[in-house]
Structure 1
Amino acid sequence: MLHQKTIDDLLSIHQIYLEPDVTKYERGREILTKYPHAEHIEVESHWKIPELFGFEGSVDDWLWNKKNVLILGLKKGIVCRPNTRSSHWIAPSQSNGCTMSCSYCYVPRRKGFANPISIFVNIEQIMGHLRRHAERQGTKPEPDETDPEYWVYEIGENGDCSADAAICDNVKDLIGLYRELPNAKLTFATKFVNREMLSYDPQLKTRIRFSLMPHQMSRLVDVRTTPISERIAVMNDFHEAGYEVNVSFAPVIYYDGWLDDWHALFEEMNDVLNEQTKAQLATEIICLTHNDRLHEVNLGWHPKAEEVLWKPEIQQVKYSQTGQRNVRYKNNVKREMVTELVDAVKTQLPYCKIRYAF
């Protein structure tokens, strides 16, 4: 019997940082009522908390902040951004940050040194924008690689929606919204199994993407996440509950024996998934991108992971669209990794469509 990790294993809220207007919103009041014993610390902005954000923060408090701190604020820039891969649009975030602590996560590179969950309480404004945006798009004119029928909106770019859903109903409300929109569906990737979400009745208008990687590597770098076998084990249940269930093979990390471990993972999927789940399965394959500043931070709290994530001899500099200096595998290494993993998927998981691989 698998031990089901719950949100109580991840969160024990002792401090809530909140913007001044949070209590004007019903969602804000609901969350504050849920954690009656937490200390309230009023801040000007969810982005401006010196003891949490900025690389000058204390690395010793990294995991404590993840477990014990919650931030409540208002989403200011409510816009949809075009996307070209797993969705057509990036929706305005209903949250930012995460209680889990994957050592390769890009969000600390953007938001700062520690990134506990920030929940945005003006969910009605966010949903209103999304409804109007979808109405302006009209009927999707033709099938594409992202979806054969609907415009797809990514709602989990900056966090993990399954963990957010254990704090408040933002994600449940969004799933309900897209259930009603005739031309759109939502999507998000997750590394946390939240079985409460089985009751949300998405009616195939929500595509949940379970992030998977070999067990050995996940235990090292997927800190505070649901174990891989538990993620796979719940996929049939989520499909039966009305979700479109996909997977994300990401990040793909090079180490001795990496491909053999992926072969073993694919065999486990073949054994566990039922025919209905297999028939609608699709994946994305994404090789590791790392960051020199995050590498320095990680050395302070999880140096063992950096032994596999930071490999200068096979990595090269890659500047992001926002100008950040990242590193990724050298072209020849990455090309070989992608080719080998794509071939393995086609051979072992012939039912699984590959949406993209890079």
Structure 2
Amino acid sequence: MDTVTAPSSPSSEALPRPARPLLEITRIYAEPAAAAAERGRQILARWPEAEVVEVPSHWQIPELHGDERNVRRWVRIKTEALVLGTKKTLTVRPNGRSADFIAPSHANGCAMACVYCYVPRRKGFSNPVTTFTNIEQIAAAIAKHATKQGIKLEPNQCDPDLWVYDLGENSDCSVDAMISDNVRDLAELFGALPNAKGSFATKYVNRDMLEWDPQGKMRVRFSLMPAETAKLVDIRTSPVPERIAAIDDFVEAGYEVHVNFSPVIIEDGWQEKWAELLQQLDASTSPAAKAQMACEAIFLTHNRALHEVNTGWHPKAEQVLWRPDLQEAKVSQNGQANVRYRWEDKQQYLREFLQLVERYAPWCRVRYAF
């Protein structure tokens, strides 16, 4: 009699590890007023099993902010923690690069973990999403400012016709839209404003946003870089091919879609990698998407403090980000001591990059590059 041998189970090492959800909220730190607001109650209802911890301020959470031991739990905290706060400073600030103005933040922090992100430099060691629940006040401040601006009389590189307000300076709106209706509320606000549009950069494809009606008044800027580099430094983001594939869908849904070539990182073979990416973008986007598209190109700026944080959880990425042989000290517009590629070398890199865009994606207007 033949012996039947049951198939052996594959080893755990052979099985692909399932991707962990971007958000698995188990603890919500909440200012009392933020939790009591209508938006706060809606968010708490989305995660009814989460532990709610009352905090005096979204900036004063010792177990999240300023504890260097959190470096070892960097991604776990981003996945499991959420903070609810009240946005107290409702100032609209001038910009002139990505947008005419920077809107008051509806959120701060991110569930993704891009290694070069500047926001952790302020919060320190952990940077989960803080959602501001006083969205009515935030929207009212934007509307009041736009009304005072009146009609845009002269075109500029931000937009020829409308005042552009950046909505995601300290967060990623595509992820914020998974947590609350703040971003949708702002999209509806701009749909009603005759002289303004919203704008945000993103590294995450949230296809639920395709069901909205942006009426051409919301500019989505998909951040792109060579896929191989993104796998190293864009942690927990949508893969670059997925971002490119979403462009036509968002254009068809009524969004204005631009791209951010950001950050441009100087590494071995960077020109060839960017040439390949630009060819992929050219082959994958429709004539309609190309006709309305423009781009920004931003070269890497880094920071010693962030370098030290990253060394504690992702040292491999720092091999391409922290390059003292190529970089020099730079004081940023907000007064931080950063490092950038040496100025004269950077001018050459910039020329080479723009030549690549002109060769492989000549239809893509460069709004600005630095």
Question: TM-score surpassing 0.5?
Answer: yes
User: C-alpha distance in 1, partners of 2:327/2:67?
Assistant: 23
Per-residue CA shift, 1:30-72, capped at 9, x if unaligned?
0000000001111010011111112534211111111000000
Match for residue 175 of structure 1 among 180, 183, 187 = 187
Matches within 5 A, 1:57-72: 57-72=69-84
Residue aligned with 1:345, SS: helix
User: What is the CA-CA distance between 1:281 and the residue it aligns to?
Assistant: 0.8
Indicate the residue corresponding to 2:231 in structure 1: 219
User: C-alpha distance in 2, partners of 1:309/1:333?
Assistant: 16
Matches within 5 A, 1:13-162: 13-54=25-66, 56-162=68-174
User: What is the CA-CA distance between 1:20 and the residue it aligns to?
Assistant: 1.2
Indicate the residue corresponding to 1:9 in structure 2: 21
Matches within 5 A, 1:200-279: 200-279=212-291
**Residue identity opposite 1:200 in structure 2:** W
**Residue identity opposite 1:354 in structure 2:** V
Contact 2:35 2:84 in 1 (8 A): no
Indicate the residue corresponding to 1:4 in structure 2: none
Residue aligned with 1:312, SS: coil
Per-residue CA shift, 1:217-267, capped at 9, x if unaligned?
000000000000000001000000000000000000001100100000011
Contact 2:220 2:257 in 1 (8 A): yes
**Residue identity opposite 1:319 in structure 2:** V
**Residue identity opposite 1:267 in structure 2:** Q
**Residue identity opposite 2:255 in structure 1:** Y
Match for residue 194 of structure 1 among 206, 209, 212 = 206
User: What is the CA-CA distance between 1:180 and the residue it aligns to?
Assistant: 0.5
Residue aligned with 1:10, SS: coil
Matches within 5 A, 1:280-291: 280-291=292-303
Match for residue 322 of structure 1 among 305, 314, 334 = 334
Residue aligned with 1:313, SS: coil
User: C-alpha distance in 1, partners of 2:104/2:60?
Assistant: 20
* Structure 2 segments unaligned to the other structure (5+ residues): 1-18
User: C-alpha distance in 2, partners of 1:319/1:54?
Assistant: 23
User: C-alpha distance in 1, partners of 2:97/2:157?
Assistant: 8
**Residue identity opposite 2:296 in structure 1:** E
User: What is the CA-CA distance between 1:8 and the residue it aligns to?
Assistant: 7.2
Contact 1:210 1:248 in 2 (8 A): yes
Contact 2:109 2:127 in 1 (8 A): yes
User: C-alpha distance in 2, partners of 1:24/1:140?
Assistant: 39
User: C-alpha distance in 2, partners of 1:323/1:137?
Assistant: 29
User: What is the CA-CA distance between 1:76 and the residue it aligns to?
Assistant: 0.6
User: C-alpha distance in 2, partners of 1:19/1:56?
Assistant: 24
Task: Count the aligned residue pairs.
Answer: 352
User: What is the CA-CA distance between 1:144 and the residue it aligns to?
Assistant: 1.0
Q: Percent identity?
A: 55
User: C-alpha distance in 1, partners of 2:68/2:178?
Assistant: 30
Question: Would you say 1:353 and 2:365 are equivalent positions?
Answer: yes
Residue aligned with 2:198, SS: strand
Q: 1:351 to 1:338 in 2, by over 3 A?
A: same
Residue aligned with 2:258, SS: strand
- With normalisation by structure 1, the TM-score equals 0.97
Residue aligned with 2:275, SS: helix
- With normalisation by structure 2, the TM-score equals 0.94
User: C-alpha distance in 1, partners of 2:66/2:146?
Assistant: 36
User: What is the CA-CA distance between 1:319 and the residue it aligns to?
Assistant: 0.9
